[in-house]
Every structure is written in C-alpha cells, then in structure tokens.
Structure 1
Amino acid sequence: MWIGILTVFSLLVGVAVFWRLPFSPVKADFERRVAEKIKSEAGASGVFTEADIEGLPTPVQRYFRCCGYLGTPKMTYMKASLDNVDFVMSESKQIKIDYKQFNLAQRPERLALISSSLSGIPFEGLDSYEQGKGGMKGRLGKVIPLFDQRGESMDRACLVTWLAECLMVPNAALQECIKWEPMDDTCAKAVVTWKGLSASGVFTFAATGELIAFRTKDRAAIDMKGRETQADWSAFFREYHPVNGILQPGVIQSVWHYQQGDCVYFNQNEAPVAIRYQ
C-alpha cells in the first residue's frame, strides 16, 4: 500500500514541477512559428509618404498624419503584449491572462498566445491565422487539449481580426488585399480579401485623427465547445501616447455586442499594451 501511495505522491510532485517549469509545448510552438516568419519574411522597404496615402479615405489619411507615421520606415511586422488582462471565457468564468501577439504587415497572418491558469492549473491558448486558415486551440496543464476550433467561421473571424488591427501596424493598411471605401469625415469602411475569403468592417476616428474603434458583423462568437453566436464585434483603441515619435494606443479592448447587452470580454481592466515594430 505504501508503494502505491508513494507512487501517486511522486506522480503528483512530478506534475506540479512540470507545471512550474517555464517551458510549455504551446509557448514553444508560438515562438517557433514567429521566429520562422521573421526569418522567411522579406523586409519592408522605404518610408511612409503622402503618395502612399493619397488614395485613402480622408479620416485614414488624417490618422497617418496625426500619429506621425509619414517619413518613418514601413514595418514588416508588429509585436504587442499585455499583462494581467481581464478575459471573459464564458458567462460565469473570467480569468487573468498574459497576452502576446504577432502580426505580419505585408499579408494577413497573425499569431496570439494566451497564458493563464484555471484553479491553479496552467492554461494556454493559441490563436492563429496562416495561409488563409484560422484556428483557436487551448491546452490545460500544458498538454491536455481543451478545444481546437477550425472551419470557415474561424477563418473569417481571424481574417477580420487582422483587418481590425491593420492600423496598429499601418503598413498593413496599404496592402492590395485591403480596399478602402469612404463614408464620412470620421468613418471609413475596409474590405479585406485573402485566399478566396472576404471580411469587412467600419473604422471610426476622432476628429483629431486617432483611431477610436473598429466594428464588424463578420466575426462569429465561438465558444470552447464550438457553438456559434452571431453578434457584432468591436475593437476599441484609447489612451494614445508618443512612442519614439509615433502616437500609439495605450489601451486596446474587445467587445461583443450581444442582444442582451455589450460584453467587454478582453481587457475590461484597461491593462496597458506595449507595441513594437520591425
């Protein structure tokens, strides 16, 4: 009997030690894929000019000027990170997460890593959009699959997320896959088409030029069991501040506009975002 107890105890200790190790397969996969993209991607060349933006809707042009991008180097990719972020997993479950994100500028591809814990057990999620295919997977205890969502709805959701973030990495906004449509002095519509799939949304800007929000109907709310709910989705950008001479948003949030009311499911606590270009 004592041998059995010792075996179980050793197993539990081993699992606890494994959970505390900094290594995880999900994190390693994220870092490997990011490194491969950086190594293989042809670097962007030149600087942003008036000629680059002359065909864009007026509020989009104003954004480039207001935020100080003209005359600065065009970027190849963006890395963004947030720590200790409020994240709503379901109606009854909210957790704190650390979030790392990687967006390519010259084509629609992005990766995002979520790191957290559920009842003391490590939880990690990886969102991806590569070669026109989107995915969202979650792992508990570093190795136990919780969900792995794929399909056309996920493809479109990931594509429109890259579109929503294109002005955070504004070389993306100049790519041929995005078509801009003027609306009025503070709003512009954009349509992105990639690998046979299209998605669209409306960008709203302050009168002074800063991007305030993006809203779309093309991102379905998909829970961990794969169930879809149709609702408008918005990204919000606030607290602009200068970083190396460029105005960047200091807070980003994501909101589902459900029939029963809005849900700020990402970053209700307004954790600051750090953005870096290369």
Structure 2
Amino acid sequence: MWIFFTILIFIAAVVIFFQLPGSKTMSEFRDSVDSSITKIEKQTDVFSEEDLVALPLPVQQFFRSCGYLGTPKMSYMKATFRNVDFKLSDKKTIKIDYVQYNFVKKPERFAYIDSSLICIPFEGFDSYDNGIGSMKGTFAKVIPLFNQQGENMNRSCLVTILAECFLVPHVALQDYITWKSIDDTHSEAMISYNGISASGVFTFDENGEVLSFKTSDRAAMDMNGSVRKAEWSAVYSDYQVNNGIRQPKVLKAIWYYPKEDSVYFNENQAGVVIEYY
C-alpha cells in the first residue's frame, strides 16, 4: 500500500513539475535575448531613398511598395507563431508555439520552441550568437535530446538570418549583406560574418513583395546529427497592412529532397505576428 501511494505521489509531483512555468531552456533563451537587448543603441533614423541607391531594383521596390520609407529603422524584431505544424521527421509532425528575435547591428537570432511529445514537454532553442550557431532540444524540461553545433550549423543559422532579412528590413541594409542584381524579380544576396559566408536568391512579384528565398547553403540536419544534401526555401505569403506597413502573414520553410518536397515548418499556414523595436 505504501508503495502504491508513493508511486501516486511521484506521478502527481511530476505532473505538477511539468505544469509549472519556466525551465532551464526557456531561461537560456530569455537570458540570450535580454543580453542582446541591453547592448542596443536606440535608433533615431528613418528609412529613406538614400538607403536604396546601391540596392538592386526589386529590393528598392520592396521598401517603397511595402511602405517602409519614412518609418523608423528598427533595432530588432520579435516574431510570434502559435499552433504551427513542425516536422520532427518524415513520419512525425507536432504542433509548436514559436517565438524568435532577430537583431540588426550584427547578425544574431534566438528562437524558442514550446511543444509536447506524448503529453510531456518538449522544448527547442535555436541560436546564432557571435558567429556560433546551435540547435538544442530538451524533453521533460531536463532531459537533453540533441545539441547540434559545428560549421554546418554556423552556416545554416547564418543563411536563415539572410532569408529573414525582409522580415526586419533594416538587416538588408547592413554591411554584412551584399547584393547582386539578376533581373526585375530576382536578386542574389550574400551574408558574411565571422569568416563564414552563405548566399541565396530572393524572388519578388511585380509589386515588390518578397515571395521566397532559396539556397543550397543550409544543412538538412536531423536530430541525430546526420546531414542530407538538399535545397531549402523560405516562402512568404498573405501580405497584410500593419501600422501602414505591408508584412507577410504566413511564412513557411521547405526542404527540396530528391524524392519529394517537404514543408517542414508551418504546412498548416498559421499566421505570424511581427513586432519592431
């Protein structure tokens, strides 16, 4: 009987622990974000035509048609997703809440994933800080599942920042990104930092809205560390006006594997809320 009650107490304690807010992974995410925010110098400038002179025509058209000219230049962005489809593997898709911060002055990006597996908390923390990229996963708040690092991860995180530069457009004007004209609806961009470079091609529509970014410089890395060769794309759609600025409401990420394409992030097309600071 005592054994039975001990097991019940243990189970109750575990359930309560899972329900408590906060975790080591969340604290690491918050500490990283807060550390970067404290180093920010307040922006006082606005986007102007002078900023666009050296940019390819489709990039210039983006700033004009999406309403950024005359608006304040941002120091960082917060993007919030809720109830997003996320593929852990070819056979396993979960729902996640996802919050990310992208910073401008130097390429920094921090993202926190909140989800569950078999009703037990699953968390993820993606980061690119001081030229180092990492992707961590934690089960039941305390059990490490994976911690991917290395040159492939450094380049993958860096090119992700490039892919998202039009979500926080001040990034597109920074010296660590260089632009090359292709035609009226395509522009090539390269991002370089800490001795590593990555590049890809942006596609725009005739109105200047970004439709997609495609690259071969992002590693398709599984949780066990294995890497597959594939092209990767970030897709932007459903533009809506927010405080006078046209922003994409839906963002998806796709792997182009030899056998089939895989929409591994946001196949259900959940909306995103973008905030500038």
Tell me the TM-score normalized by structure 1: 0.98
- Distance in 1 separating the partners of 2:53 and 2:254: 32
Q: CA deviation at 1:274?
A: 0.3
Q: Look up the equivalent residue of 2:38 and give its one-letter code.
A: K
1:58-105 Cα shifts (integer Å, max 9, x gaps): 000000001000000000000000100001110110000000010001
SS of aligned partner of 1:249: strand
Q: Give the length in aligned residue pairs.
A: 277
Equivalent residue number for residue 20 of structure 2: 21
SS of residue paired to 1:15? helix
- Contact 1:78/1:276 (<8 A) preserved: yes
- Which residue is 1:121 aligned to? 120
**Counterpart for residue 167 of structure 1:** 166
1:105–1:166: 8 Å Cα contact kept in structure 2? no
1:26-75 alpha-carbon deviations (Å, 9 max, x no partner): 11221222112111222233000100011000000000001000000000
The separation in 1 between residues aligned to 2:6 and 2:151, in whole angstroms, is 46
Q: Where do residues 1-278 of structure 1 align in structure 2 (5 Å cutoff)? A: 2-278=1-277
- CA deviations 1:146-169 (Å, max 9, x no partner) are 000000000000000000001110
Within 2, Cα distance between the matches of 1:43 and 1:142? 35
The offset of 1:106, in angstroms, is: 1.6
Q: Which moved more, 1:127-136 or 1:41-50?
A: 41-50
State the secondary structure of the residue aligned to 2:31: helix
CA distance in structure 2 between the aligned counterparts of 1:71 and 1:41, rounded to whole angstroms: 21
Deviations 1:101-147 (A, max 9, x none): 10001211000111000010000000000000000000000110000
Over the aligned positions, Cα root-mean-square deviation in angstroms equals: 0.8
Identity of aligned residues (%): 51
**What is the alpha-carbon distance in structure 1 between the residues aligned to residue 166 and residue 49 of structure 2?**
16
The CA distance in 2 between the partners of 1:226 and 1:253, in whole Å, is 23
Alpha-carbon distance in structure 2 between the residues aligned to 1:7 and 1:189: 63
SS in 2 for 1:46: coil
- Structure 2 gap segments, 5+ residues each: none
SS at match of 2:85: strand
Q: Secondary structure at the match of 2:88?
A: strand
1:7 Cα offset (Å): 2.4
Which amino acid in structure 2 is aligned with residue 7 of structure 1?
Answer: T
Can you give the 5+ residue segments of structure 1 that lack an aligned partner in the other structure? none
Q: Tell me which amino acid in the other structure corresponds to 1:72.
A: T
Q: Whole-Å Cα distance in 2 between the matches of residues 257 and 157 of structure 1?
A: 15
Q: Distance in 1 between matches of 2:30 and 2:124?
A: 13
